Structure 1
Amino acid sequence: MRGGVRKSNHEEEEESVFVSMTDMTVSFLFIVILLLAFFASQYSDTDTVPRKELEAERQLRTVAEEMVVKLQEQIGIKDARIRELEMLLETQQAQNREQAKDIDRLKREIEELRRKLEVADPLEAYLASAAQVRKQILERLRDQLKIDFPDLKVELSEQSDALRFQGDGLFDTGSSQLRADRKQIVTSVATRLGNILPCYTLGKLTQWDLACNSGGVVIEALQIEGHTDSTGNANSNLTLSTNRANTTFIAMTDSEPRLIDFQNLRKQPVLSVSGYGQMRPVADNSTKDGRDTNRRVDLRIIMFTPSRSEEISKIRTALQNGQYEGGPNEPLR
């Protein structure tokens, strides 16, 4: 009886253990099912990407990568250009520094010249300026005439105070009448003088300013001079040279009437005539070439020469006003 009870208890224990393992297995499976259910609940169709969209995205990424490469290339080009410009800028700055040095040097030289000018005698400087202006006017006339009349014999005098026309170039031998084919030369000179004289004379036609006459110089006289060689009678030569000068004067004023309105500081016309015959030769009359040179018409410019530096300011005032305020015969002092 007791043995039967023991057997029964053992079977009950085995059954209890089996039940416990079964419960544990069921519980484990249940937990697994719950986890699967949880993960299943977290799964969504929206987390998947269709193939077409994936391909499109890949293409976009490829395009973006290509753009990045191109942009990097452009950045490289720009960087290279920047470096090039920086080098150019450095070069330019170096050149600017050199130019700045040159400018400083020139300023120092100008300042030195100004100091010298202040020390120099104003009257001396004025007379030098007047001589230079006279030479420039005559050279300008000569150069223009040689362009217009290439075969014309016209030169500056040795002192650069007169234009020298060979006499036979304007007049026939022994005649005081202008050659018909040469009258145009005289009228051309008259026209050019009409454009030059307003800056260096007084009167109603004066047009002085610093741009055309910075030295403030004034023409005293513009003389048309007749000259002959030594051949023939001295008195006849004097008359011939005077008549040639008068003929030239008349031709010029007929062509440019306002020439007689240009005045000097004494309120006299600057244009005048004179005949010297054979008295002022510039070459040897014993040779043909010398005689040819002596037969001439000179256009001589005489500049006003003040005797004191105090007169210089009065001259410039006269140029500004178009006339000297003193009387015709009153000295400038």
Structure 2
Amino acid sequence: MSSRGVRRSRGEEEEESYFISMADMMVGLLFIFIILLLYFALQFQQKSKALSDAGEARTKILRDLKTEIERRDSSVKVEIDTRTGVLRMPAAILFAKSEYRMTTEGERAVGVIAGAMAQVLPCYSFPRRKQGCPDTPHSIDAIFIEGHTDADKMNGWADNMDLSALRATSTFRAMERAVPVLDALRNREKRPILSVSGYGADRPVDTGTSEAAKSRNRRIDLRFLMAAPPPEDLVQMLTGQE
């Protein structure tokens, strides 16, 4: 065999070895990519399930509250919006026009609602009540008592923001007076779950200009925010481990 033939054979072997090494590297990179893809897919699945389950827990809270309010007094009418996590109280049952001081009838209605909250919320707040409660890792992070008005100018007020904030505060104080234990309810970080906010006319539920639309926009909303479960509860929830 000539030296030229030997050199050609060795070159072919080196070229073949090079391509095999490149193929092995590409397979290895593809394997790493698949592992990372599976990891991120699992993370997304976990977060999606946690959010979905938290939404279901919030829906149950709202429905249980509405049922408990109707059981206590069927004349107290509230609405629930499970999509946004809101229990809605029309302002007409709580306040006279342009007033932030609650009417006698409003105090009574808020007392009924506060009593229902004291029955339902300890299942989802801290200290946690176990008896008669669903077995769930989810808990309430905060409940915003939100004041809302229509867009009409109010005599004697700088703007509707002032009126909405004072109405939210009045509702909060009326709840405290009716059921003082509500003030002791805490979230996972041991902070009070109840707080107040006022939005004036900035968040209408009805964009119409009729009196019926304005009446819908004058309201007190209780907006429920759920806390994400701690990692150990999340793992148990996803794997079914005891």
Describe the SS at the equivalent of 1:173. coil
> Which ranges in structure 2 are unaligned for 5 or more consecutive residues?
1-41, 237-242
CA contact (8 A) 1:167 1:296 kept: yes
Aligned pair 1:244/2:159, yes or no? no
Query: Larger Rg: 1 or 2?
Result: 1
CA contact (8 A) 2:65 2:120 kept: no
2:135 to 207, 214, 220: 214
Alignment of 1:136-285 (within 5 A): 136-157=60-81, 159-202=83-126, 205-208=127-130, 212-232=133-153, 235-285=158-208
Q: Deviations over 1:155-205 (max 9, x none)?
A: 112625011111112111111111112312111221221222222112xx3
Describe the SS at the equivalent of 2:146. strand
Q: Which has the higher strand share?
A: 2
Q: Deviations over 1:3-54 (max 9, x none)?
A: xxxxxxxxxxxxxxxxxxxxxxxxxxxxxxxxxxxxxxxxxxxxxxxxxxxx
Q: TM-score scaled by structure 2? A: 0.71
CA contact (8 A) 1:235 1:277 kept: no
1:301 to 204, 208, 224: 224
* Aligned AA (1:206): R
Alignment of 1:91-170 (within 5 A): 121-157=45-81, 159-170=83-94
Higher relative contact order (CA 8 A, sep 6+): 2
CA distance in 1 between partners of 2:142 and 2:208 (Å): 29
* Aligned AA (1:197): L
Q: Deviations over 1:75-104 (max 9, x none)?
A: xxxxxxxxxxxxxxxxxxxxxxxxxxxxxx
CA contact (8 A) 2:94 2:103 kept: yes
Q: CA deviation at 1:279?
A: 0.9
> Which ranges in structure 1 are unaligned for 5 or more consecutive residues?
1-117, 318-333
CA distance in 1 between partners of 2:100 and 2:235 (Å): 40
CA contact (8 A) 2:50 2:234 kept: no
Describe the SS at the equivalent of 1:297. strand
* Aligned AA (1:256): V
CA distance in 2 between partners of 1:208 and 1:150 (Å): 28
Percent identity between the two aligned chains? 31
Name 2:214's counterpart in structure 1.
Answer: 291
2:232 to 297, 310, 313: 313
What is the root-mean-square deviation of aligned Cα atoms in Å?
2.7
CA contact (8 A) 1:216 1:316 kept: no
Describe the SS at the equivalent of 1:127. helix
Q: Deviations over 1:234-274 (max 9, x none)?
A: 95211111111111111111122121221112221001111
CA contact (8 A) 1:126 1:215 kept: no
Q: CA deviation at 1:146?
A: 3.4
Q: TM-score scaled by structure 1? A: 0.52
CA distance in 2 between partners of 1:207 and 1:146 (Å): 23
Over 3 Å counting, the alpha-carbon distance change for 1:268 and 1:228 in structure 2 is same
